[in-house]
Every structure is written in structure tokens, then in C-alpha cells.
Structure 1
């Protein structure tokens, strides 16, 4: 699996282009982020709420990787971070997060959330 984030608003996974935020599961499944769950509570989808994160905790993982967007606007709330316990959490701008995903996904089970705009 290979990810590229070369354009604001678009991310590519194995040649398939997505123009919305995505979740990449350790199994390789890709789905659209349910950002409305955070937006309903906080008025913005730039705060990753625990209720939203719970939706993605379906598969075992070693690392939670959050691509925070082109300008780094998406933030993982402290309560959300608490849901993953002592597992490794990496938050990086989306271009760097995509590179990091490519480096580690063969060695570790990565649950990745990518914000593709701001």
C-alpha cells in the first residue's frame, strides 16, 4: 500500500484518488472519515472528538497516525488520545503523515486518519 499527498484536498492510495478525508485501517481498508460526528459537538471538524474516534477503533492497531491537514488544523482532543491508551500516537501535517505511513505500515499495524484540506 502506498499513499501520496501531493495536492491540497486530494490524497492517493494505491493509485486511487480521494477528495475527502479518509481512514486507513490496518487491514488496508479505506473509508470516508465521519467528520460530522466531531462537527456536531464542536462546530468544526478540526477537533477529533472521542465519539468520532470510537467509530474507527474496529481493528487492532499499534500506531494511531493522524494527518492533520495541509496547515495542520486537525487536532486530536486529549480525551480522544486517552482512548488509545499507551499506543503510539503520531500527529503530523498530512504530507509528512503520508510519508510516515509509507515508512511504517509494513512493520506496524497503523490506524491512520487523514485530513486532506486545511
Structure 2
């Protein structure tokens, strides 16, 4: 999967435009991803990612880094040996594309707005 463009509220992946938060797996996209507590990323929000066990999880925390990742979520990822990279969504998109080009087993979870 390749992210062609991101701007506030919209992301284009492999030619398809999405306007809701999403998780990009190597073989599928989960669109309409929403967290139980909105701007807090809880462990249960990533159940499918934890089952998938990627080498790396990239989290785009929004254009202004509004989404917080709880310490419990960070611990759960660490316990599964999943490396976490988090940043604003603009930088997260760049890193996602770079690591997928390198052939890494990467999942990206992207908050598209604030």
C-alpha cells in the first residue's frame, strides 16, 4: 500500500480517497476507524493490530498531534515486540511510505483531522 497524499481530513491510498480515520494493513484498509475515547488511543482500539503483530506500528496523531497514546497502549505494543513510531500525521505518512518501500511489515493508524 502506498499513501499518495495527505491533507487535513483526507488521505489518498493507492488511488482511493478516504475522509475518515483509518488503519492501513499490508493487505487491507480498515476505514472509519474510531477510538473509544476519541482523542485517546487505548489498547482496545488496536485489538486487530495487536493480533496482526506487525514489526512496526506508525501512528499519525493528527495534523496538530491531538490524539494521545496512553501508557497502557505503549506497554501493550512493547509486550508484543511491536515498535511504535508516533508523530503528526504528515510525518507519519512519510515514514509509512519509507518503511513499506523498505519491505518492513508495517501497519499505519492515521487520525486525519486535528
Specify the TM-score bucket, using the shorter chain as the normaliser: 0.7 to 0.9
* Structure 1 equivalent of residue 109 of structure 2: 113
> Residue 44 of structure 2: which of 33, 43, 51 is its match?
51
RMSD: 1.6
What runs of 5+ residues in structure 2 fail to find an aligned partner? Answer: none
In the aligned structure 2, how far is the partner of 1:29 from the partner of 1:89? 20
Structure 1: stretches of 5+ with no match in the other structure = 40-44
SS in 2 for 1:105: helix
Residues of 2 paired with 1:110 and 1:33: CA distance? 19
* 4+ long deviations beyond 3 Å: none
1:11 maps to 11
What does residue 29 of structure 2 align with?
A: 30
| Count of matched residue positions in the alignment of Structure 1 and Structure 2 | 111
TM-score for the superposition, normalised by structure 2: 0.87
